[in-house]
Amino acid sequence: MYSYLGLFLCILFVCCSATPFTIIGSRRSILREINNNDKSDHPDYAVELNATNFDDVLKDTPATFAVVEFFAHWCPACRNYKPHYEKVARLFNGPDAVHPGIILMTRVDCASKVCASSIFFLHNMWFRVYKKHALMIGTSLFTFSEAQINNKLCDQFSVVHYPMLFWGRPPKFVGGSWEPKQEKSDICVIDDACTADRLLNWINKELGSSFGLDDQRFGNEHLSSNISDPGQIVKAIYDVEEATSTAFDIILGHKMIKPESRASLIKFLQLLVVHHPSKRCRKGSAEFLMSFDDLYPADFWSTNEQEINKGSLSDLQICGKDLPHGQWIFCRGSKNDTRGFR
């Protein structure tokens, strides 16, 4: 039996030295893992996919769009590109994503070899050695050294160089493919993405968005803060003022006041005069209320409303003219002039 084992180890050695990429590749991926653990405690933001989970992940993602990067772990350009890709992935992937649910950023290693299946073959071969069917070893090993798990996937997308990036809606990638000369395709190549800036520019152009690499998540971390801090309460009132002002801009700007809603609006203004947390909104509401009959006379809707008081209505600032705009503190979005989850 030991001589069989010797033969087996010998064949294994010969086969492996004949396929240097296998060895270099796996050593590099081990190094890469060690590096990652050393350098940072968060895993990559981009989701690593392989032939096994590719379809499932893209089918299940709630994101509206997907980016798939095909690369090879041994390719120097890909390794240089990784930090760029990660910088963009940080914005969209993971629990702390600045802009969650919009884009799923993924990568597929076209040169990935099968570790799991090599162990399987080893077991298989041990078994055969034990049962003295040693002749099977050679063929098994040959199959193993050729096995690149994502080959078929990369071929389907006609990956001709590394890295190569694709863009599309996630379901279009499921069982999908791409051909260089295809006229119309639901999946397209991102052709100008060699730095993080250019990749994000490409995405912004595609979506008409204005995401920035420095976008930060605002808002929620402030919310958990200190409600007995007077400074924060003052800021919170800015938000309420601005929200009130925006609401009235919408109500007046879209002529939402109708004969049947007139009475409700008067009641609402009466409430604001007494209870609004901001002094200037209380004052503005009171002024609006006092001039309400002039602005909205009972026969307002029967006359030509285009002419009547148009100027004075659009000028009306319920919380005063000095209200600073775009100052969202607690309700701020990911950018300084946006709100909520934007």
Ligand X SMILES: *[C@@H]1O[C@H](CO)[C@@H](O)[C@H](O)[C@H]1NC(C)=O
Contact residues for ligand X, defined by CB under 6 A:
50, 52-53, 114, 116, 149, 226, 228-229, 336-337
Q: In sequence order, what are the residues at sequence separation of 6 or more whose Cβ sits closer than 8 angstroms to the Cβ of residue 278?
A: 237, 240, 241, 244, 319
Beta strand spans in 47-90 (E): 47-49, 65-71
Output the smallest distance, CB 182 to ligand X, in A: 28
| Residue 166, both tokens | 């694709």
Q: Which residues contact 55 (CB under 8 A, 6 or more apart)?
A: 173, 174, 175
CB-nearer residue toward ligand X: 37 or 53: 53
State in angstroms the smallest separation of the CB of 149 from ligand X: 5
Of 15, 16, 75, 188, the catalytic one is 75
- Whichever of 76 and 230 has its CB closer to ligand X, that residue is 230
Q: What is the token pair recorded at 67?
A: 């980016």
139 or 224: whose CB is closer to ligand X? 224
User: Which tokens hold the place of 221?
Assistant: 């971390």
Residues in contact with 123: Cβ distance below 8 Å, sequence separation at least 6, in sequence order:
none
* Residues forming a β-bridge with 104: 66
Count Cβ atoms within 10 A of the Cβ of residue 220 and give its class: 0-12 exposed, 13-18 middle, 19 or more buried: exposed
* Token pair of 331 as six digits: 């309700």
**Which of 47, 265 has the CB closer to ligand X?**
47
Residue number with CB closer to ligand X (309 or 327): 327
Cβ proximity to ligand X: between 52 and 210 the closer is 52
Rg (CA), the chain: 32
Tell me the helix, strand and coil percentages in the chain, rounded to 5: 50, 10, 40
Distance separating alpha carbons of residues 9 and 51, to the nearest angstrom: 30
Q: Check if 188 is active-site.
A: no
Classify residue 267 by burial, with Cβ atoms within 10 Å: 0-12, 13-18, 19+.
Answer: exposed
The active-site residue, picked from 78, 110, 281, 331, is 78
The CB-of-11 to ligand X minimum distance in angstroms stands at: 24
Is residue 331 part of the annotated active site? The answer reads no
Strands 188-189 and 164-168: antiparallel
Distance CA 141, CA 118 (A): 9
CA distance 88 to 196: 6
Q: Give least dist CB 44 to ligand X, A.
A: 11
In the complex, minimum distance from the CB of residue 307 to ligand X, in angstroms, rounded to a whole number: 37
Q: Output the smallest distance, CB 323 to ligand X, in A.
A: 16
Residue 130 beta carbon to ligand X: minimum distance, rounded to whole angstroms = 27
- Between 212 and 283, name the residue whose CB sits nearer to ligand X: 212
Q: Which residues are catalytic?
A: 75, 78
